[in-house]
Structure 1
Amino acid sequence: MDKVLTVIVPVYNMEKYIRQCLESLVIGEVLDRIEVLVVLDGSKDGSAEIAYEFVGQYPDTFRIIYKANGGHGSAINTGLMMASGEYVKILDSDDWVERDAFCRLVDCLETEGTDIVWSNYYWVYEMDGEKAIQYRDPFPEVVYGKKYRFKDIADKTFIKMHSMTIRTELARQVGRKIDENCYYVDVEFVMYPITEVETIIFLDEFVYMYRLGRSGQSMSMEQMRRNHRNHEQVLNSLLDFYDEQKFRHLDQAHLDYLEKGIARVVSSHFKIYLSFPCSGKVFAMMKALDEKIREEYPDVYKKVENKVVWAIRRSGYLLYYPGHFCMSLKEKKV
């Protein structure tokens, strides 16, 4: 039977969490309609043994792919090449899906035929299991279940990887690989194919359970400081992609969406700079990067919505110093 959905699970040393992740996909109603590609990215712990249990029990659904360690993006690139489903979704191996909502997602993929199906996600805190919502709706007055032309709503919403299920061929045909040996590539997975997306439907379901607070998690402020060069690499890759799309004379709605998405990465990079120990060197790095964006990518520069970034800009970057102080206080409270 043809598979409706391929779920790519990148795995690197996640034996503590991977069983919960894979068990969440063992749903009788959809097992014959999905494939799960467990991409072992040079994992050295017991993750493979756990994954093989699922292959043994459900050989028509679960597959294991071995590869040398190349990072999250490398695992996604490999999974995309091997995917046989009409649609593809990324599920990190420390996260999981909600059973009933996932079933409704698969049903929607089978019947609606859009390029993207958007579904919601919860943040689930590691310490106490409490759930939080970042955005209740993708945009005000959304009509769930309605097929939209993407360009008609591109200025109203921003899609994150945890919410996106995309037609596999669209994700493949970009002609550009996600950065390897690099953190923070989720945004690349979303942004690269978005220029080809014509239709989207919004599903009022919380499908994805996104674990927060795990030790060593890449989105912690400590890890973002440590890996700030990776974050800058992703920003530069997105800017290169943006240059390519402008050369193609992309329609304005898709171009605006790219600019807005890259502007969010710029704001995140400001946040990283503000979290570093206060120094003239960090001040100079922040100012140089932002001036480069202003001079070379003025439309991206103008799309930044973060009020703190604009306050720092208008002060001639002198508000970097009190901004750093406020960031330090905020981090101490977390």
Structure 2
Amino acid sequence: MTLKKTLKTIYHATAPLHVSRSHMTMTVAKQILTDFTPDPSTTCVANNILNLQYDLQIIIPAYNAEKYINECLESVLIQSTHYSYLVTVVNDGSTDHTLDITRSYQEKYPDRIEVINQENQGLSGARNAALRILKGRYVTFLDADDIMTEGAIEALLDKADDKDIIQGGWYTFTQSGGNTPQDAHRLSGYPWGKLFKADVLEHFQFPEGYWFEDTPISFILYRVGYSSKVIPDVVYGYRLNPDGITAKSSGSRRSVESYYITTLCLREFPLFGVKYDQQAYEYFLRQCIMNWSRTKNQPKNVREAIFVLESTLLDKYFKDQHSEMNEEIEKALRKKQFQKYEVLARTK
């Protein structure tokens, strides 16, 4: 019997224990989270300038990336393509030799590489610095410790078909070698490995000060109604990082920001013309489960505070919706049955 089946069996056997309601108020819940980790309270809304001079702009945020930035830049510069492109490297307050390395590349390839140097503002702040003046008809993001595969530019732009968002395949690799292909069958929530039309990003920025800053891509941008396409070509190499946010988030207070960014997205739906429809509702419920998974190692009162506030969000934005995909999770949220919710979340 699998772990999920075992947990479901335990849940049904102990069902009477799960009917009690949480008595935590919204005011108390908000205070608990604020005391634990304050909400950065930034925005996804921007007014970026369109100055389209290239077919493609490749945005590379870089912080203390001296070990990898050479390999990253070389993977772009060896591309054989007839398309014009500009590499925008944003040095985000690095304290190693990242800036020196990127400057040397800029001197060697002045028509291909520009460097923005700024004080440390985090991953979102680095990406946003490049987004403020969009110079490519299409934009793609490349992390400084990752690589672009051979022929990626040609494959993505050749098959773009004037779509707003084009997703390619990718593979994961480690420093010791070896790679694992990841076929793209649908749009991923990551900004890398895909193209965005500049128009898509004209009024968008990554929310600064948050972990999980990629969330608005799938929660907001994919809900606007932009046209999209997925191609089978592997265009991106993603380096697995044992010290990345995914690996350390559940033990950090900042894991609570997964909830905060959920509220941010919902709050800003109208600013992007996104509707609180059934699709958004199902995504919200999946996001609630994700929030629980990311915060499951936090104190019980923190987890319960998130639960109470999520149940409030459900009533505020999706009062008349009904889920067929996560019906039990929905019931637990609506009835404020925290114990039941936690047992159910573990089975997802």
TM bin, normalised by shorter chain, reads: 0.7 to 0.9
- 1:282 paired residue number: 302
Rg larger for: 2
Q: For 2:178, which of 129, 142, 156 is the aligned residue?
A: 129
Shift of 1:5: 0.7
Whole-angstrom distance in 2 between the partners of 1:200 and 1:162: 15
Q: Quick check: 1:116–1:165 contact (8 Å CA) kept in 2?
A: yes
Q: For 2:168, which of 94, 119, 123 is the aligned residue?
A: 119
Query: Aligned partner of 2:185: which letter?
Result: D
Q: Quick check: 2:54–2:85 contact (8 Å CA) kept in 1?
A: yes
Instruction: Give matches, 1:141-152, under 5 Å.
Output: none
Whole-angstrom distance in 1 between the partners of 2:141 and 2:251: 21
Instruction: Give matches, 1:82-93, under 5 Å.
Output: 82-93=133-144
Which structure exhibits the higher relative contact order, with contacts defined as CA atoms closer than 8 Å and separated by 6 or more residues? Answer: 2
- 1:318 paired residue number: 339
- Using the size of structure 2 for normalisation, the TM-score is 0.72
Query: Aligned partner of 2:309: which letter?
Result: L
Closer/same/farther in 2, CA of residues 283 and 204 from structure 1, 3 Å limit: closer
Q: Quick check: 2:250–2:295 contact (8 Å CA) kept in 1?
A: no
Instruction: Give matches, 1:140-179, under 5 Å.
Output: 159-172=189-202, 174=203, 176-179=204-207
Runs of 4+ residues deviating >6 angstroms: 323-327
Q: For 1:42, which of 85, 93, 101 is the aligned residue?
A: 93
Closer/same/farther in 2, CA of residues 25 and 200 from structure 1, 3 Å limit: same
Whole-angstrom distance in 2 between the partners of 1:31 and 1:64: 23
Shift of 1:100: 2.4
Q: Quick check: 1:170–1:197 contact (8 Å CA) kept in 2?
A: no
Whole-angstrom distance in 2 between the partners of 1:20 and 1:106: 23
Q: Quick check: 2:256–2:295 contact (8 Å CA) kept in 1?
A: no
Instruction: Say which SS state the counterpart of residue 183 (structure 1) adopts.
Output: coil
Shift of 1:130: 3.3
Instruction: Say which SS state the counterpart of residue 99 (structure 1) adopts.
Output: coil
Q: Quick check: 2:329–2:341 contact (8 Å CA) kept in 1?
A: no
**Superimposed CA distance per residue, residues 115-166 of structure 1 (whole angstroms, 9 cap, x where no aligned partner):** 1112122233455533152x5522xxxxxxxxxxxxxxxxxx6654234311
Shift of 1:322: 5.7
Quick check: 1:234 aligned with 2:261? yes
**Superimposed CA distance per residue, residues 251-270 of structure 1 (whole angstroms, 9 cap, x where no aligned partner):** 78xx5554444444322111
Percent identity of paired positions between Structure 1 and Structure 2: 20
- 2:146 paired residue number: 95
- 2:156 paired residue number: 105
Query: Aligned partner of 1:137: which letter?
Result: H
Instruction: Say which SS state the counterpart of residue 159 (structure 2) adopts.
Output: helix
- Give 5+ residue unaligned stretches, structure 1: 139-156, 328-334
- Give 5+ residue unaligned stretches, structure 2: 1-51
For structure 1, which segment, 187-196 or 69-78, has the greater mean C-alpha deviation from structure 2 after superposition?
187-196
Q: For 1:15, which of 66, 72, 95 is the aligned residue?
A: 66
- Using the size of structure 1 for normalisation, the TM-score is 0.75
Whole-angstrom distance in 2 between the partners of 1:239 and 1:300: 16
Instruction: Say which SS state the counterpart of residue 92 (structure 1) adopts.
Output: coil
**Superimposed CA distance per residue, residues 184-218 of structure 1 (whole angstroms, 9 cap, x where no aligned partner):** 11122454444554422221112122222332x11
Q: Quick check: 2:102–2:115 contact (8 Å CA) kept in 1?
A: yes
- 2:237 paired residue number: 209
**Superimposed CA distance per residue, residues 71-114 of structure 1 (whole angstroms, 9 cap, x where no aligned partner):** 111112111123311000111112111112343113334xx222
Q: Quick check: 1:31–1:61 contact (8 Å CA) kept in 2?
A: no
Query: Aligned partner of 1:210: which letter?
Result: Y
Q: For 2:213, which of 167, 182, 185 is the aligned residue?
A: 185
Closer/same/farther in 2, CA of residues 214 and 202 from structure 1, 3 Å limit: same
Shift of 1:236: 1.7
Shift of 1:38: 0.3
Shift of 1:243: 4.5
Query: Aligned partner of 1:225: which letter?
Result: S
Shift of 1:53: 2.5
Whole-angstrom distance in 2 between the partners of 1:320 and 1:99: 46
